[in-house]
Amino acid sequence: AAGVIQSPRHLIKEKRETATLKCYPIPRHDTVYWYQQGPGQDPQFLISFYEKMQSDKGSIPDRFSAQQFSDYHSELNMSSLELGDSALYFCASQVGITSGQLYNEQFFGPGTRLTVL
């Protein structure tokens, strides 16, 4: 079965550079979530989209922005990178209200490991 695809899998950047992470949800999933997991930490919610509109916002820095496109893939743009941004970034997809059932499972991608030097 198709899973969530994230690219790139690994990314190394210098401080103050920018990075773009991509997420391709499971086909027919209309909701995408972004999470950040620091070393030894639990995942923290950043931002979510439902039907290409931002649906909720968590602890996402102002330096980060994201969007969901017409094909439902999503991109997380990160600017002015800081050392503390080094983390695993996960995208999760979910079939939302259009499935006729609320509160469904979120399926996570393999993550992008971002290292800021």
Partner 1 sequence: SQQGEEDPQALSIQEGENATMNCSYKTSINNLQWYRQNSGRGLVHLILIRSNEREKHSGRLRVTLDTSKKSSSLLITASRAADTASYFCATDVAGYGGSQGNLIFGKGTKLSVKP
Note every long-range contact of 43-50, with CB atoms under 8 Å and residues 24 or more positions apart, other chains counting: 43/90, 46/76, 47/76, 49/74, 50/96, 50/97
- Choosing from 13, 22, 26, 50, the residue that interacts with partner 1 (CB under 8 A) is 50
By CB under 8 A, residue 86 contacts partner 1: no
* CA distance linking residue 18 with residue 13, whole number of Å: 8
Between residues 59 and 70, which has the closer beta carbon with respect to partner 1?
59
* CA distance linking residue 2 with residue 107, whole number of Å: 11
Q: Which span (15-23, 63-71, 79-87, 88-96) binds partner 1, by CB under 8 A? A: 88-96
Between residues 32 and 81, which has the closer beta carbon with respect to partner 1?
32
Show contacts with partner 1 in window 92-111 (CB under 8 A).
92, 94, 96, 102-111
